[in-house]
Structure 1
């Protein structure tokens, strides 16, 4: 059997599709891929021709001869997928090559065996990502441009077989919608932004965002959004939520019963449906049954137009139940009932979530891929086959779960364990001169161990903590202490630690974070040893995320120890322990910034959602509060206690002979004397 040889001389004949932007970009990307793997001046004279043919959407056929390769497809995505298949199968360019810094070994040419390559349809019709809470990629340019990270995210999605995207939140979705469409992707919308329209509160900042008061203004915004997007391929998201990611009745209290709320949403969906049909031929619709909307639907208070894809969301932790909002957590099943499973259903699924409580943003989903596999297969068996959109956040911290879900929506038969081994083999050993046997024998086990180490914070199987837990809970406690001295329990923590006193809540938190720290410490040691062999990718991915968990957990434990000292009125010791806690959170921030090499420079700079450095700031402020209690109003006794000799500190003829130390200077002096057991004894025991 002969082969078609791909080298730098190959030409792609685009035929009559020069004006088809997604096809033209796919060809440009194909040439770039050749540059990544091919070197030299050899000339084999082969050519590739693109040929339109009547075929099902997204399907392609590649006819390979020795001197010619013909790609046949019936639509733009068919050609996009065909060229990406050649890139992956024969050039070895993996779907997440950019995000995992894949190394390429240059060759003179690559061989494509003579024969026919025929695509197969995927089991999920619409497959996509939502680049949500995108604070990292919004400020990072990959060393090229502000648009470049978004282009590379859309490319990765296409390489994983995706065809749909919500291209950012709010303003970003409008900025990058055109780019996504130019790459061949369908567009859909955030559940809080029906029809992709501008938010009322932004366009009319001086008006109350009440539909009852300003119905025509809402209608005009929706129609403007439709006109703006009518030339794109859009799945039109209909519904009505608030002016942020919250219910509209928070701003419009006249809708004070579930029936009033359900009636309004139902009527507005019909109006939105009709507006789209006025401007778009054969539109596709979806609506999100999310949070409070799920509860209204389950109560029979929502009526949906026909032929709308109903999107059932997980709770942010991968479990197909309604999300927790504040302290309200009904866990209503988020799956179509048996009598509706033959309809059009989709899922909005999270590998990253932002709830200001316990979710993950800068680290992976805290639940295992085995858990994800179970939940998504249950969803599929319940009829959720029309659409899967995955909250991918800023992509890089979540590439492993994203690759696994891509494996599922493409209908691959790999189990979670099989996929884990394949993923490690592909990205951590590919092109690296390492003793592969030793590496691959243990690396999948470390990834598996990560999910076993994540911290359980509740009784349900999915209630495992992401990076936000150690930060938001600690900050909640800090605010309560500084608000009233901790005289009352913190009501915002009732979802995790209901109690009659702050001491009860703190006791549960301490037990939780101590257990978590003890679980992660051995994994940190094991990952650090492995990184000596595996190199920078492991340092950038698993090791970094284990450090984030471990350092934040160490900080949380020190904070709890500091609270115990504070409650016992050992204020100097509390001051020191809160400083230790701040140090660990700052170490977590430094661990992210240390991995900003090459194109990743500045990637973590705008960590403003989990924001581990803000936790350190809060703890430093708490140190000042504690110093005021224990050293005020004259602020010289602690300085004498820490910096003076034993002989001098008790003789107070002049209160102080030096300028007053700042909180940080005093803390630094305490750290410098930490190894002196006598000095430590004077601040309440060894710390």
Structure 2
């Protein structure tokens, strides 16, 4: 937090200080102003009225104004906090800049940080708020124009949202704006889900859709769309019937126009269920070169359609170069259109988080707008209940993109489990605002100091570093100078445990276990782990990881009582509980691997399965503890992707003897 020590002529804002915002200001600014009034009441314990104009007297007031180009701020989203006489002026050059000025004031002078809701933050009450006489804080335009989240893999988030849709989404979007993000990927939308557009629109965020939903149109709604059009039967998906596809897309373009949403239009083509289009379209060609030509032709058609419907020559667009499109680019088969308003949105490699071959081999003209899509989570093999990638790896991904082309215009992180990833999500927001001066080391130091103070922040800084370095790196990097390229995320850990338990029901050889399934699922290289088999690698390296995580957890346990009620809550859910959870998960999987190895001896097998059960129950207890109280109560009750209930049931059946183990 900013040092706001007083100068002699400090302005003192009293309880009930009015907040002035003209009625002409847009709705998102009005909403942020209401948040400011709420924050003032929390701190000063007296309601602050929201007024439309200054009172006649010269008493202290907070004045909010947008479309301001004075005070040294210019350019999109620039903003300032300036003391002028008896006023504190919160200024922005545009709507979002003004919103950012409001939330910057809340953080700098009211001690209400971006993650206040998730941290169950309770700001210190004050008798007045003191503003130095020469207070003038300014923020120029962000370095990366579009900075966003894609809430995906939402087995935890969605049930919580549905308990109170408007209020809970409002907490998510407020957090985004406090972090100074401006773009929400809503995935897809239809006639029946327009609130997905309206809620972010009314908060002041721009909207885009994901790579499988061009213009927001998902093929999962194909049949429903044609039923609503009065068709008795659903037309098949055929590339030869492009006019029908264009009718489907145009309908969604017009829906977004109708809602007056600020859109970054997604163009591209994938099949139903997030797979290559050739798996859904019956007349798709059989070879990559022809498929790349189809995709390239579709991109040009979609641009022409969008230009016609919107009447804009250069509508703002992006195309996500992902999965098969990434392969086509790497092979030189795909050449997206080169319009100046089309962002070529590259993405991290599938199943691991580093720049794919297409980006590493690409050099863009300096004017070409580029984007990047980074998975903080990943449904199959990534982090889900514990942060795994960390700020440094995310920074390195983006710095490698800048080696491919300097014009980074957009960056989106994929993370639906918002509660689990406050550090990495904050790092992304900070990085994209001012990448030129950003370093993950400095960010982490500031983050820890901001939430836990100058005394304990440096100790927590070290704990975070040791936590990320506790992960097993199951394969040596193959990109020079890229540490932690491959790590055994929590989903890999738990799915290895289940695969090993299932393997005891069959007579398969060890060499057939824990394979990559053609997609880099586990990526275990025994020689990189000084073992001769994947099972031995899982045993040895998960035991070592479990001890490293446990050491971090023990140090967290020692520190936690010194942090106070406020600091403990956020520390526990964002670091301490995650270290404990990963220690238990790693130990559980190591025990399952030992049990597989001992499957020919019932006594030893049972012993290891009981140890797996102790650690499985430990994971469940940690989640139950986090679920006990507060606004996120029962957050983990709907957990599916990690699959802890399934894992515990599998262990219980083996411990109770209800599963017959086959010996080799």
TM-score (norm 2): 0.83
Instruction: Look up the match of 2:256.
Output: 229
Q: Distance in 1 between matches of 2:392 and 2:68?
A: 40
For structure 2, list consecutive stretches of 5 or more residues without a partner in the other structure: 1-7, 50-58, 226-232, 478-482, 527-531
Instruction: Look up the match of 2:422.
Output: 399
Instruction: Look up the match of 1:648.
Output: none
How far apart are 1:9 and its partner, in Å? 3.1
Q: Distance in 1 between matches of 2:96 and 2:592?
A: 53
Length, aligned pairs only: 605
Q: Distance in 2 between matches of 1:483 and 1:249?
A: 35
CA contact (8 A) 1:95 1:160 kept: yes
How far apart are 1:257 and its partner, in Å? 0.6
| 411 and 629 in structure 1: CA distance in 2 versus 1, 3 angstrom threshold | closer
CA contact (8 A) 2:475 2:524 kept: no
Q: Distance in 1 between matches of 2:626 and 2:224?
A: 42
Q: Give CA deviations for 1:263-302 in whole Å, capped at 9, x if unaligned.
A: 1111111122122222324520001111221111222222
SS of equivalent residue, structure 1 residue 577? helix
Q: Distance in 1 between matches of 2:446 and 2:82?
A: 29
Q: Distance in 1 between matches of 2:142 and 2:48?
A: 38
Pair 1:123 & 2:143 matched: yes
Pair 1:15 & 2:22 matched: yes
SS of equivalent residue, structure 2 residue 367? coil
Instruction: Look up the match of 1:453.
Output: 470
CA contact (8 A) 1:318 1:372 kept: no
Instruction: Look up the match of 1:425.
Output: 449
Instruction: Look up the match of 1:96.
Output: 115
Instruction: Look up the match of 1:85.
Output: 104
Pair 1:537 & 2:570 matched: yes
Matches within 5 A, 1:602-641: 602-622=634-654, 627-628=659-660
Pair 1:556 & 2:594 matched: no
Matches within 5 A, 1:293-304: 293-304=325-336
Instruction: Look up the match of 1:276.
Output: 306
SS of equivalent residue, structure 2 residue 378? coil
Q: Distance in 1 between matches of 2:499 and 2:234?
A: 33
Instruction: Look up the match of 1:162.
Output: 181
Matches within 5 A, 1:188-203: 188-200=208-220, 203=223
How far apart are 1:403 and its partner, in Å? 1.4
Q: Distance in 2 between matches of 1:173 and 1:416?
A: 38
Instruction: Look up the match of 1:212.
Output: 239
Q: Distance in 2 between matches of 1:510 and 1:482?
A: 19
| 599 and 209 in structure 1: CA distance in 2 versus 1, 3 angstrom threshold | farther
Q: Distance in 2 between matches of 1:519 and 1:163?
A: 38
Q: Give CA deviations for 1:584-622 in whole Å, capped at 9, x if unaligned.
A: 223212201211221120111222111222222233345
Could you tell me which of 155, 158, 164 is aligned with 1:138? 158
Pair 1:581 & 2:612 matched: yes
| 28 and 396 in structure 1: CA distance in 2 versus 1, 3 angstrom threshold | same
Instruction: Look up the match of 2:4.
Output: none
Instruction: Look up the match of 2:228.
Output: none
SS of equivalent residue, structure 1 residue 139? helix
Instruction: Look up the match of 2:229.
Output: none
Instruction: Look up the match of 1:408.
Output: 431
Pair 1:48 & 2:63 matched: yes
Q: Radius of gyration: which is bigger?
A: 1
SS of equivalent residue, structure 1 residue 147? helix
How far apart are 1:235 and its partner, in Å? 0.5
Q: Give CA deviations for 1:311-361 in whole Å, capped at 9, x if unaligned.
A: 111226774423xxxxxxxxx15247234343100111122222x23x101
| 80 and 201 in structure 1: CA distance in 2 versus 1, 3 angstrom threshold | closer
SS of equivalent residue, structure 2 residue 265? strand
Q: Distance in 2 between matches of 1:626 and 1:41?
A: 63
Q: Distance in 1 between matches of 2:562 and 2:343?
A: 48
Q: Distance in 1 between matches of 2:625 and 2:236?
A: 44
Instruction: Look up the match of 2:536.
Output: 507
CA contact (8 A) 1:572 1:627 kept: no
SS of equivalent residue, structure 1 residue 127? strand
CA contact (8 A) 1:467 1:548 kept: no
CA contact (8 A) 2:81 2:105 kept: no
| 579 and 3 in structure 1: CA distance in 2 versus 1, 3 angstrom threshold | same
SS of equivalent residue, structure 1 residue 340? coil
Q: Give CA deviations for 1:488-523 in whole Å, capped at 9, x if unaligned.
A: 824754543489xxx944233223322322332322
Q: Distance in 2 between matches of 1:546 and 1:444?
A: 14
How far apart are 1:139 and its partner, in Å? 1.0
SS of equivalent residue, structure 2 residue 412? strand
Q: Distance in 2 between matches of 1:483 and 1:213?
A: 47
How far apart are 1:107 and its partner, in Å? 1.2
SS of equivalent residue, structure 1 residue 599? coil
Q: Distance in 2 between matches of 1:197 and 1:251?
A: 15
CA contact (8 A) 1:167 1:173 kept: no
Q: Give CA deviations for 1:433-461 in whole Å, capped at 9, x if unaligned.
A: xxx63x34422211110111111111223
Q: Distance in 2 between matches of 1:57 and 1:627?
A: 63
CA contact (8 A) 2:266 2:318 kept: yes
Q: Distance in 2 between matches of 1:102 and 1:474?
A: 37
CA contact (8 A) 1:236 1:286 kept: yes
Q: Distance in 2 between matches of 1:594 and 1:49?
A: 42
Q: Distance in 2 between matches of 1:147 and 1:203?
A: 29
Cα RMSD after superposing both structures: 3.1
SS of equivalent residue, structure 2 residue 626? coil
For structure 1, list consecutive stretches of 5 or more residues without a partner in the other structure: 323-331, 430-435, 632-687
Pair 1:385 & 2:392 matched: no
CA contact (8 A) 1:26 1:83 kept: yes
| 498 and 622 in structure 1: CA distance in 2 versus 1, 3 angstrom threshold | farther
| 315 and 203 in structure 1: CA distance in 2 versus 1, 3 angstrom threshold | same
